[in-house]
Amino acid sequence: MNEILYVDDDDDFRELATLKIEGTTELETYECKSVQAAIKFITETPSIQLIISDYDMPGGNGNQLYEYIKKTRPIPFILFTSKTLAQIDNFECFPATEKGEAYLQKPEGLKSLAETVLSVLNKSKENGMKEEKEEKKAEKPIEFCKIGIKKLLRFNSINSDIFIKMSTNKYLKIINKNELYDKQLIEKYQDKGIKYFHVKKEDFSSLFDYYAQAFGSILCKENITIEERMFSEGECLRLVGEILPYMGINEQVAKTINELINSNIKVIRGKPNIFELLSKMMNNRDYIYEHSILISYISGLVASKMSWNTENTLEKLSLAGLMHDISLVDEPTLAKIENIGEEKTKTMIIPKQHIALIRDHPQKISEMIRKANCFPPDIDQIIMEHHEMPDGSGFPKGLSSSKISPLASIFIISEKLVNSIYQKQINKELFEGIIDNIMVTYNYGNFRKIIEGLNKAVAETFKKP
């Protein structure tokens, strides 16, 4: 439904006009009594598509509102006043109908108000489609990059201009670079269902540095709680996931990933209780990031129980866990699908393009890690094999248990545990049931010793003091 704003200090006439509009159209009309209130409302409500305004109002006039939207957000504007245009300063060239402007005089204009509103909206829509076609034809590169809205709740100012996306090629600036903003502004956009803000691509690198330094300073601390560390790792990994489509793994991103790995290994070296790890991490905030961090922890703990706990091994398992599903961040439900064989998918409705995303993501991330040329070898192999199954029914290569590498086998078992227990009420009986199921499916080849390591880790979880 199209949303419009009517600005007039005359309560009776404003009520009559909105009644006329809403009674003869399907438009949703909002009301303000002053220019100041209107400007505040427009700033906080990006969905407004047209403004109707009186001229004379207390504390400001229609020209101030008109000039404001021309500078910040050029949307259709209808001047609806008892004055003639000749009696009003600064409206000599008004209305420019091709720009979505119109003039009506009170009270006669009330009869044609609804018709004028619809006409201006239609004209604006036609112009927008024309501009969009021209922009598409020009094939301009991506100008904006998205950033999760929650990140701005950590600060009161940011080193980049912040925008919201209005349409395919239209963005509205809502926060100026280094300008103070309050938490309530961000929460209002959250309440409207907006998940991402946008920044100019040229500013994204400096913005990434800004956040990476903030999270890095937390991750390098020794005296923070495991909850603080897990939360910061999740936020840091989310930041990496947002920047990869635009920058790939460059020096900045690689540094941040290494800080994440070092923090991750600190948790593993602390020999945490698996039960506590799972309980504290499963907050249902973001499946891909929670699941990825948990796998990196669990695989490291299982490796430690097998005495495969060299720094190099833990680093490989940590990075594989953190990165294995990073290309699916925009489609988190796809990350929950373990196999795409015919028997597995015939009971699920999965579009062909989604099956391709699932099938190709191990290779996509493996190549990204390999091409970065700044991480230890074998990590790409772990990621490439993380959907393989011991009976050869996995993907992408259909490897059997004896062909799957030992580190990939640790990863696969750890992922199976995390997926089986995620969002469930954790107790000893649940763990034992999951281990039994894992043994039925995976007790072959390279997996046998790994299941022993998993059993040791789980046994310690419920060992009586």
Q: Which of 204, 226, 249 is the last residue of a domain?
A: 204
Tens digits of residue pLDDT in 94-111: 888 777 889 999 999 999
**Residue 266 within a domain:** no
**400 and 280, same structural domain?**
yes
**Residue 337 within a domain:** yes
Tens digits of residue pLDDT in 66-85: 999 888 888 899 999 999 98
CA distances from 34 to 133, 376, 414 (A): 37, 63, 60
pLDDT at residue 136 greater than cutoff 60: no
> Can you give the CATH number for the domain in which 348 is found?
1.10.3210.10
What integer pLDDT is reported at residue 17 of this predicted model? 92
Q: Which of 137, 169, 195 is the last residue of a domain?
A: 137
Which residues form the domain of 187?
Answer: 141-204
**108 and 33, same structural domain?**
yes
**Residue 119 within a domain:** yes
Q: Report d(CA 39, CA 42) in Å as an integer.
A: 5
pLDDT-derived band at 22, boundaries 50, 70, 90? confident
**Structurally, how many domains does the chain consist of?**
3
What integer pLDDT is reported at residue 404 of this predicted model? 94
Average pLDDT over residues 392-417: 94
What integer pLDDT is reported at residue 132 of this predicted model? 54
**358 and 407, same structural domain?**
yes
- Per the model's pLDDT, the better-predicted residue between 125 and 393 turns out to be 393
**164 and 301, same structural domain?**
no
**Residue 247 within a domain:** no
**Residue 441 within a domain:** yes
Tens digits of residue pLDDT in 137-179: 544 555 888 888 988 888 889 999 999 998 877 889 999 999 9
**433 and 292, same structural domain?**
yes
Contact 315, 265 (CB under 8 A): yes
What integer pLDDT is reported at residue 284 of this predicted model? 52
pLDDT at residue 86 greater than cutoff 90: no
Contact 81, 54 (CB under 8 A): yes
Tokens of 440: 């039925």
| CA end-to-end span of the chain | 62
Q: Report d(CA 244, CA 16) in Å as an integer.
A: 53
**452 and 315, same structural domain?**
yes
Is 290 strand, coil or helix?
helix
**Residue 298 within a domain:** yes
Tens digits of residue pLDDT in 316-368: 999 999 999 999 988 888 888 888 864 444 555 677 778 888 999 999 999 99
Helix residue ranges per DSSP H, 175-250: 183-191, 201-219, 226-247
- b/e burial code for range 181-209 (CB count within 10 A of at least 16 → b): beeeebeebeeeeeeebbbbeebbbebbe
Q: Which of 137-141, 324-328, 369-373, 393-397 has the lowest mean pLDDT?
A: 137-141
On average, the pLDDT of the chain sits at 87
What integer pLDDT is reported at residue 245 of this predicted model? 87
Q: Which of 137, 168, 184 is the last residue of a domain?
A: 137
> Can you give the CATH number for the domain in which 13 is found?
3.40.50.2300
User: Which range in 267-271, 278-282, 321-325 is most confidently predicted, on average pLDDT?
Assistant: 321-325
What integer pLDDT is reported at residue 138 of this predicted model? 47
Q: Report d(CA 241, CA 247) in Å as an integer.
A: 11
CB-based contacts of 144, cutoff 8 Å, min separation 6: 163, 165, 171, 198, 199, 200, 201
What integer pLDDT is reported at residue 427 of this predicted model? 81
Burial status of residue 142 (CB atoms within 10 A of its CB: 0-12, 13-18, 19 or more): exposed
What integer pLDDT is reported at residue 283 of this predicted model? 60
**Residue 237 within a domain:** no
What integer pLDDT is reported at residue 343 of this predicted model? 46
**157 and 27, same structural domain?**
no
- Per the model's pLDDT, the better-predicted residue between 42 and 271 turns out to be 42
**130 and 48, same structural domain?**
yes
To the nearest whole percent, how much of the chain has pLDDT over 70? 93
Helix residue ranges per DSSP H, 92-196: 113-138, 183-191
Tens digits of residue pLDDT in 47-64: 899 999 999 998 889 999
Is 148 strand, coil or helix?
strand
Tens digits of residue pLDDT in 196-248: 999 998 898 898 898 888 888 989 888 888 888 988 898 899 889 988 988 89
pLDDT-derived band at 135, boundaries 50, 70, 90? low
Contact 158, 178 (CB under 8 A): yes
pLDDT-derived band at 392, boundaries 50, 70, 90? very high
